[in-house]
Chain A
């Protein structure tokens, strides 16, 4: 392994070549089995994804479920312990529930608020402002920055003698209070993370919602105005329902992302692990404590939590989301 680049390049080319050969082999095999031409080509083309699905998704999911019932330190083979990991997690581990609380509260607060912010921005931009492209690009910039850089920047701005406290100094003096310690104060860790999250979410969500707003037919709004509806009513009764599929998409993807917050908390020091999100906790248990079994149990719990939250949003949205061309039974 003298040259790590060459080492990787050889394997990269070998696997790439093998997959392409396998695609041709699939086509040949299916044709030999008298499959239709379009079937043979179709399966050959989606083969890379199908292989990935089995090797990197289905197998790992089953494997991690199995591991969650074992004790496994990587060096010795996994040992079956039944529900022990889950019992420890729910009843003994003092760090587990605070981490759940932080993760859930962060997602449930930051995602809807961020969505409202993005909706407000998109509404402003949809008003035929001059230089939409300029504003849109500008608002997108924070979303492009590496999460690591963003986290370091905010940690620095939130430092006890950082920019934010400097700017707030007149307020502190006026109220006669001590400057806040933000990320260094256990109680303020969650609000600090939420404030930071606003900076990043606007970009992509604003762009998606703006496109959705542009698709709302003008005639609908005009008809309502003629009937005497106020712009406020038009917004809530026509615009929002018309873009509700996009809102739902933004909301669900936001929750899935927020629940797995990882990079930012690893770049921000907090007192006594008050900023340990669940995904970070999985990483710590698995890769610094080498408790792969326990980490798998936490990971499964986190996945179930995400699925439950997503299902709740979905169920709740059913009453509100409007798909054009859909026939309602009721």
Chain B
């Protein structure tokens, strides 16, 4: 009896705490959306107005038109897709090499790869910029996309290698018997088998490039070349001079977050699986 009561209490406490945590997460999100639908005079109302009446949908259109956000969106998509494609192809090739082939120095090189996971990007930032400046590629999308061919992201390589290691070798051995070469095995057998990992890392890479701020900030100067995030920064600077237009800024923040959230919800099963493989044996 006593035991059952204490279990009941525990269960209640668990859900209570979980709900409390959920509220901490949901309330700011709700506030973001709510603010984005408010008229300027309702922004600072006290007590706070939770559901704007009536919702000002025009905020989204007005904010979008204040800067060339259509162009910014196109730039973001362009950068993100090119960088992500190059990252996925090269990191999976490198991971395949580390997972399946014996060569001298492999363990040392893999150890170096793990070390670079911890290398702070701050030391490489300035020389990398100087290299691109020497190549006269500053203020183009080149530094943000072409660099991805060099297997950006040691963490992605690590996660993909873990996935390759879970695939039984018999799959390839059978293919070798049939006379397939490495390129064919990689493309026709290995890639389809690691599809969950590709999806998970695809989402991570998409998110990384979409949300990247430091790269565009350093390399891009002309407004025409801005991705969404620099547009948001410019917006923030020009709008917060006098009375900040928080409704417009929140509207643009919501728009920036929606594609990422959509992708996350669509692929979250793979996404979380991928995180686990990478993290558990950190």
Enumerate chain A interface residues (CB-CB to B < 8 A). 1, 4-5, 7-9, 11-12, 15-16, 19, 23, 36, 38-39, 41-46, 48-53, 55-57, 59-61, 63-64, 67, 74, 121, 124-125, 127, 129, 135-142, 144-149, 152-154, 156-157, 159, 161, 163, 166-167, 169, 199, 202, 204, 207-208, 211-212, 215, 245-246, 248-250, 252-253, 256, 259-260, 262-263, 266-267, 269, 278-279, 282-283, 286-287, 292, 295-296, 299-300, 302-303, 306, 310
Contacts and interface: CB of A to CB of B under 8 A. Distances in A.
B120 A67 contact: no
B126 A124 contact: no
A260 B121 contact: yes
B20 to A, nearest CB: 10
A266 B53 CA distance: 33
A30 to B, nearest CB: 9
B18 A211 contact: no
Given A148-B253, A207-B272, A49 B260 contact: no
B250 interface: yes
Interface in B101-134: 101-104, 106, 109, 112-113, 116, 118-131, 133
A12 B120 contact: no
Contacts of A204: 275
B120 A302 contact: yes
A18 to B, nearest CB: 9
Contacts of B40: none
Interface string B237-253: 00010001010011001
A214 to B, nearest CB: 9
A250 B214 CA distance: 23
A207 to B, nearest CB: 5
A161 B21 CA distance: 25
Nearest to A54: B150
A248 B29 contact: no
Contacts of B106: 42
22 contacts: A12-B82, A16-B89, A48-B90, A48-B93, A49-B157, A51-B150, A53-B113, A56-B124, A59-B127, A137-B268, A144-B264, A146-B211, A147-B213, A148-B232, A149-B232, A152-B253, A211-B280, A249-B282, A266-B217, A282-B126, A283-B217, A302-B120
B146 A49 contact: no
Interface stretch (B61-69, B137-145, B191-199): B137-145
A303 B147 contact: no
Which of A46, A121, A156 is the most central at the interface, judged by chain B CB atoms within 10 Å of its CB?
Answer: A46
A8 B17 contact: no
B28 A199 contact: yes
A55 B279 CA distance: 28
Contact of B15 (A38, A129, A260, A292): A129
Given A64-B127, A146-B211, A135 B22 contact: yes
A157 B28 contact: yes
Nearest to B278: A208
B233 interface: yes
B167 interface: no
Interface string B207-239: 100110110011000001100010011001000
Contact of A43 (B14, B103, B256): B103
B248 to A, nearest CB: 11
A57 B127 CA distance: 9
Contact of A38 (B22, B103, B118, B224): B103
B31 interface: yes
B214 A262 contact: yes
Contact of B152 (A52, A153, A166): A52
